[in-house]
Amino acid sequence: MSNEQLSKPVMEMRHISKRFDATQALADVSMTLYPGEVHALIGENGAGKSTLIKVMTGVHRPDTGEILVDDQPVNIHNAQDAQGYGIAAIYQEPMVFPDLNVAENIYISHADRGAFVNWRKTYEDAEAILAKLDVKMDVRQPARGLTVAAQQTVEIAKAISLEVRVLIMDEPTAALSAHEVAQLFKVINTLRSRGVAILFIGHRLEEVFAISDRITVLRDGKWISTTPRESVKSEQIIRDMVGREVDDFFAKTDWERGDLLMSVRGLGKEFVFSDINFDIYHGEVLGLAGLVGSRRTDLGLALFGIGAADKGEIWLDGQEVKIHSPEQAMELGIAYMSEDRRKLGLIMPMTITSNVSLPVLKSYLSGLGLIRRKQERETAETFRTRLSIRTPSVQTKVENLSGGNQQKVMLSKWLNTHPKLLILDEPTRGIDVGAKADVHQLIDELAQQGIAIILISSDLPEVLAMSDRILVMREGRQMGVFDHQEATQEIVMTAAMGQNNAVAEVQQ
């Protein structure tokens, strides 16, 4: 590759902005990709990485800004347009057809191979593409039996068959072993030597530094930095990722926590998480922090009896308990508020009243088995006032409320179970600043009333501001528990990215 070719970008994103309702997903983001370069794109959850690559591949159209390929402005409306410009993407969970063989998967997107398939040539061509990647694979075997790493290789081969010029790799190592990661990096280096521009999205800093030529950091939908790998250290990258200040609207009152409520020892679920250990006290907020794939939600669900743990012990009020269903969890005083209010948290066509009473509907039944509607409405009115739910009536359908008010209804639903332990999974995701402040105030009030709260959140300033202690997870493993006084954004993010030595140095 000549110096002239290397200096000419294959693709540019200029001043890209994209808004979804009240959420500014991208704000004036620019990025340049060169042939024969591995460009890493990193950032916290919600930084805008996924939105940017969806703009690049035609899933979303930008509100403002332009995309250039070979210095020419282009419009990318769908995957076919992206393919026409030589842009392809592979993801951490490969999208292969399990009942087709390797060769068929490689050529599935080709419309130019005629009505009748020359199978001999198809197999030969597939083998030739894999040979270019220095990979040996039986092109006649069904994709169903392939490992995740092998499926990714098939997707890369498919991209090469379409003459890919820009290959986007979104968390490609998340499900791979160390050996498989090494094999993938060999393939990436082969693509780099062939002049393919690679955009590598990852959370593992050690991998980012091992494979990339340049590193771009996004934060809150904004471009923060782009630096050559050799001229930046991991500490600077982490600072760029977490450089936000804690906002003033976080409400946190200092108070003495109560007695021990729950102890978890050696909790594990095969292939999901392992060796989780923590205590939580009445009136304490325990934050769960971690990046995508850290298994925080899986831990929360296990404590609520969904995907129950198969190892370890859970002690509640000094008694060992087994939790195998949500019914058992609720009987023990545990409630879980899902991160997905539309699919798992609320029944949208039903009223506020019906949603609030749903988990404990039996308590509203009369001796004849009829629902006491007056009592049901009075309960809903109580929560409407207590949580400042803005609605003309508790008989309003939940689907007609704003996101913030829907979130308050979901909180009301679980508070109506009178929990000792309330697990909140992303309680402020997708709601505006004012509604967030209300939720934060409520968390603070509930803790003062003695309710123990496990706060799962991808918003690191929220976790830092609202938690008494923070448990950091990474890929199903516990990386550390930090007191509120010692936890900083850098310490938590360092632990979440597996930089154990750095954490140890900070704690000494």
Q: What is the 3-state secondary structure (H, E, C) of 52-73?
A: HHHHHCCCCCCCEEEEEECCEE
Percent of the chain exceeding pLDDT 70 equals 93
- Asked whether the predicted pLDDT for residue 503 surpasses 50, the reply is no
Percent of the chain exceeding pLDDT 90 equals 60
E strands, 270-402, are: 273-281, 285-289, 311-316, 319-321, 334-337
Amino acid at 419: P
| 287 bridge partner residues | 455, 470
- Asked whether the predicted pLDDT for residue 18 surpasses 70, the reply is yes
- Asked whether the predicted pLDDT for residue 311 surpasses 90, the reply is yes
Laid out side by side, the sheet with 421-425 consists of 319-321, 311-316, 260-269, 273-281, 477-483, 469-474, 285-289, 452-456, 421-425, 334-337
Q: Write down the pLDDT at residue 133.
A: 85
Q: H or E stretch including 105?
A: helix 102-106
Q: Is the distance from CB of 164 to CB of 194 less than 8 angstroms?
A: no
Q: Write down the pLDDT at residue 230.
A: 93
Distance separating alpha carbons of residues 111 and 129, to the nearest angstrom: 18
- Asked whether the predicted pLDDT for residue 3 surpasses 60, the reply is no
Task: Give the lowest-confidence range in 60-69, 131-140, 314-323.
Answer: 131-140
Q: Is the distance from CB of 192 to CB of 313 less than 8 angstroms?
A: no
Q: Write down the pLDDT at residue 502.
A: 39
Q: Write down the pLDDT at residue 264.
A: 98
Q: Is the distance from CB of 249 to CB of 433 less than 8 angstroms?
A: yes
Average pLDDT over residues 165-179: 84
CB atoms within 10 A of CB 450: 15
Torsion of CA 212, 175, 306, 411, to 10 degrees: 10
Q: Write down the pLDDT at residue 44.
A: 75
Mean of all residue pLDDT scores within the chain:
88
pTM for the structure as a whole: 0.67
- Asked whether the predicted pLDDT for residue 74 surpasses 80, the reply is yes
Q: Write down the pLDDT at residue 456.
A: 95
Average pLDDT over residues 111-125: 77
- Asked whether the predicted pLDDT for residue 163 surpasses 90, the reply is no
Q: Write down the pLDDT at residue 205.
A: 83
For 3-241, CATH gives 3.40.50.300
> Topology of domain 260-507, per CATH?
Rossmann fold (3.40.50)
Tokens of 151: 């499926």
Q: Write down the pLDDT at residue 431.
A: 72
Q: Write down the pLDDT at residue 126.
A: 92
Give the domain ranges of the chain: 3-241, 260-507
Angle, vertex CA 248, rays to CA 463 and CA 457, nearest 5: 20
- The 10s digit of each residue's pLDDT in 360-384 is 999 999 888 899 999 999 999 999 9
Average pLDDT over residues 413-419: 96
Q: Write down the pLDDT at residue 339.
A: 86
Tokens of 143: 């994709």
On the question of a common fold for 3-241 and 260-507, the answer reads yes
Average pLDDT over residues 174-188: 82
CA distances from 225 to 461, 488, 489, 498 (A): 20, 21, 18, 22
| 422 bridge partner residues | 335, 453
- 76 or 369: which leads in pLDDT: 76
Average pLDDT over residues 333-345: 89
Average pLDDT over residues 389-414: 90
User: Whose structure tokens read 């140095």?
Assistant: 505
Distance separating alpha carbons of residues 365 and 376, to the nearest angstrom: 10
